[in-house]
């Protein structure tokens, strides 16, 4: 059995979740890492979109970077203090998994999760749709990129970010 839940910031409740589940040896968490610049662009677009009532206006670039710092520190904390949880986390790159059907299917295969034919078809359709979306030209203004770069320079905990990347093997070249 498996449970799917797209929940940002799940790492903050992993300890209590794991403490309430048995047997722990069968619990796996898929952690999909998206590079910080893309997350900042997305957050900025949503918080400035007056029609997006499901997103708070204060959840822009600065908030995103501060949450990223906290997430990095929490994963580092789990590795240090809860290795049982850390080893159950399967880290994957957003850019690979969500736009490449083979990479997406490999995640499930590596976790020994057999997908039904209909689940495989839905996954492939989703990945292909996502790949097409990624190909569309984006019109993000240069000022957004400058704001992100300046905010990252000011707010990013680069030590925690680098430690996170090192222990999870996630790459984030968007900040260089």
**Contact present, 161 and 176 (Cβ < 8 Å):** no
Tracing tokens 């969500």 back to the chain, one arrives at 98
Model pTM? 0.85
- Calculated CA dihedral for residues 68, 100, 127, 65, nearest 10 degrees: 10
Tracing tokens 């996954």 back to the chain, one arrives at 123
d(CA 12, CA 99): 27
What are the tens digits of pLDDT across the range 117-140?
Answer: 998 898 888 888 888 877 877 776
d(CA 130, CA 123): 10
Q: Is the pLDDT of residue 46 over 70?
A: yes
What are the tens digits of pLDDT across the range 77-114?
Answer: 999 999 999 998 999 998 888 778 888 888 888 888 88
Q: 175 vs 2, which has greater pLDDT?
A: 175
pLDDT interval class at 55 (50, 70, 90): confident
């Amino acid at each position: 059995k498996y449970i799917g839940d797209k929940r940002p910031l799940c790492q903050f409740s992993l300890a209590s979740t794991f403490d309430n589940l048995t047997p722990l040896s069968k619990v796996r968490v898929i952690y999909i890492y998206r590079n910080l610049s893309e997350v900042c662009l997305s957050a900025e677009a949503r918080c400035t979109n007056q029609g997006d009532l499901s997103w708070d206006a204060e959840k822009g670039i600065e908030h995103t970077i501060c949450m990223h710092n906290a997430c990095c520190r929490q994963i580092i904390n789990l590795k240090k203090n809860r290795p049982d949880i850390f080893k159950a986390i399967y880290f994957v790159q957003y850019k690979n998994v969500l736009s490449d059907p083979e990479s997406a299917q490999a995640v499930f295969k590596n976790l020994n999760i057999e997908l039904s034919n209909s689940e495989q078809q839905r996954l492939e359709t989703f990945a292909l749709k996502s790949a097409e979306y990624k190909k569309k030209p984006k019109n993000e203004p240069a000022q957004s990129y400058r704001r992100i770069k300046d905010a990252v320079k000011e707010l990013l905990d680069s030590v925690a970010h680098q430690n996170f990347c090192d222990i999870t093997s996630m790459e984030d070249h968007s900040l260089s």
